[in-house]
Amino acid sequence: MTSYDAIIIGFGKAGKTLAGDLANRDWKVALIEKDPSMYGGTCINIACIPTKVLVHDGLNGIPYGDAIERKDKVVEKLRTKNYNSLADHEHVTIYESEATFKSDIEVEIEVNGKKVLLTAEHIFINTGATSNIPPMEGDLNSSKVYTSTTLIERKELPEQLAIVGGGYIGLEYASMYHRFGSKVTVITPDEELMPNEDREIAAEVQKELDKKGIRFYFNSRAEKITDEANEKVTLTLSNGETVRADAVLLATGRKPNVENLGLENTGIELTEEGAIKVNEHLETTVNHVWALGDVKGGMQFTYISLDDYRIVMDYLFGDKNRSLATRENVPYSMFIDPPLSRVGLTAKEADEEGYEIMEGKLPVASHPRAHVIDDLRGLFKVVIDKKTEKILGASLFGPESPELINLVKLAMDLDAPYTMLRDQIYNHPVMSESFNSLFAV
């Protein structure tokens, strides 16, 4: 048995960052990753980075095949950089193997065909999430059926793409593949688009997606997939209708990746949703084992994984003040065209929580910068607590919103009154100066 100061299972954002930091403190670290194509984690290899490369290239008129080629080069460059940053560290040993717990303190791996036991005083699980395949009949294993991971490996653009799932992944892919020229159909069990978003914002998003020609089936479930001999695939829907396409994307969420970890050999417990149960400092039900990133459930963002790393480091070496309880105002963006970004509460949510609110609203077309960049689409909205003048939330649908939302988050974190953003001096002509008008409630 080989002993380490720390064993980290998974080369994701939290795991790799933690490994480097601990190694710099002269900890002896074992970093285990079963898939060499995943060095660097989900974001770099199969999610944020490759999809945003494709979004960028689609918006700039680059042909699909060329965009896929550039995506592959970007991913390989970043993956190699991430691997070398740790492989070259004297205190880090990288094992290419599946990891299985044999007890609360022992992890089994395979090295050169032989089983090896590792042990450590601190063990960190950072195995991410995997695509959730919905219960359906038929040819789920067809070569024409894809997940969000596998579709962006396809070299030829599907002429007709059917997307099962109208959530954020599904809509982002719908917008992206439309830009490349696919005819896109989205099937969703929801009654309306993005039920958790501000309804006026959601209506604006629906209007833009309708203009693109993206077709929607609401209140519908895909119940069966039939792979036809003529290179098409047919989806049979719960409403009795059928949809034919060249490719089907199953965009029905992602689930924590806990399979084959051997957690049954430990005292580590799972939540009802199948995620690893953690306390506010990310420690599992075994007191020297932590879970970070998507595997612990909750929001599946790479910046959440990075903040998980900060929580663990503060617990190990700091004053233990940082925790899940102190994490507030997490923003997110959906890179449709134009992008939608959100932080905090919608007006409806604020009302339900008992706030007396003020709302700011600004059509993007009313702002000079929109005319400069020739993109008048979208709507910005903010929600303010009338009593305290603090910002409760923002929904920004329009160009450059992924950058703008971080300014709103910063103001919220500082408990600044909305007037700080309203009265700020911004340079000109830029989108951030829209806050002068947006917050003039």
- Choose among 218, 236, 232: nearest CA to 170: 218
Q: Are 126 and 145 in the same domain?
A: no
Q: Are 198 and 318 in the same domain?
A: no
For the annotated catalytic residues, the residue numbers are: 428
Q: Which domain holds residue 216?
A: 137-252
Which residues are within 8 A (CB) of 335 and not within 5 positions of it... i.e. 6 or more apart?
51, 52, 55, 172, 175, 176, 402
Q: Are 13 and 114 in the same domain?
A: yes
Are 205 and 339 contacting, i.e. CB atoms less than 8 angstroms apart?
A: no
Q: How confident is the model at residue 230, as a pLDDT?
A: 78
Q: Which one of 267, 302, 326 terminates a domain?
A: 326
Q: Which residue has the tokens 């991430």?
A: 82
Q: Are 66 and 167 in the same domain?
A: no
Q: Are 142 and 205 in the same domain?
A: yes
Q: Are 297 and 360 in the same domain?
A: no
- Choose among 170, 160, 98: nearest CA to 134: 170
pTM of the model: 0.96
Residue count (the chain):
441
Q: Are 155 and 177 in the same domain?
A: yes
Q: How confident is the model at residue 229, as a pLDDT?
A: 78
Q: Are 36 and 104 in the same domain?
A: yes
Q: Which one of 221, 237, 252 terminates a domain?
A: 252
> What is the rounded CA–CA span in Å between residue 183 and residue 233?
14
How many folded domains does the chain comprise? 3
Beta strands in 314-418 (DSSP E): 332-334, 340-344, 357-363, 379-385, 391-397
- Choose among 244, 234, 226, 209: nearest CA to 337: 209
Q: Are 343 and 285 in the same domain?
A: no
| Secondary structure (3-state) at 78 | helix
Q: Are 209 and 322 in the same domain?
A: no
Q: How confident is the model at residue 316, as a pLDDT?
A: 98
Low-confidence ranges of the chain (pLDDT < 70): none
Q: What is the helix (H) or strand (E) element at residue 52, kind and residue range?
A: helix 48-59
Q: Which one of 302, 326, 350 terminates a domain?
A: 326
Q: Are 285 and 365 in the same domain?
A: no
Q: How confident is the model at residue 217, as a pLDDT?
A: 98
The CATH number given to whatever domain includes residue 112 is 3.50.50.60
Q: Are 143 and 240 in the same domain?
A: yes
Q: Which residue has the tokens 């960028």?
A: 56
Q: How confident is the model at residue 345, as a pLDDT?
A: 98
- Choose among 89, 102, 223: nearest CA to 164: 223
Segment 281-301, tens digit of pLDDT:
999 999 999 999 999 999 999
Segment 359-413, tens digit of pLDDT:
999 999 999 999 999 999 999 999 999 999 999 999 999 999 999 999 999 999 9
Phi, psi of 265, deg, nearest 5 = -90, 5
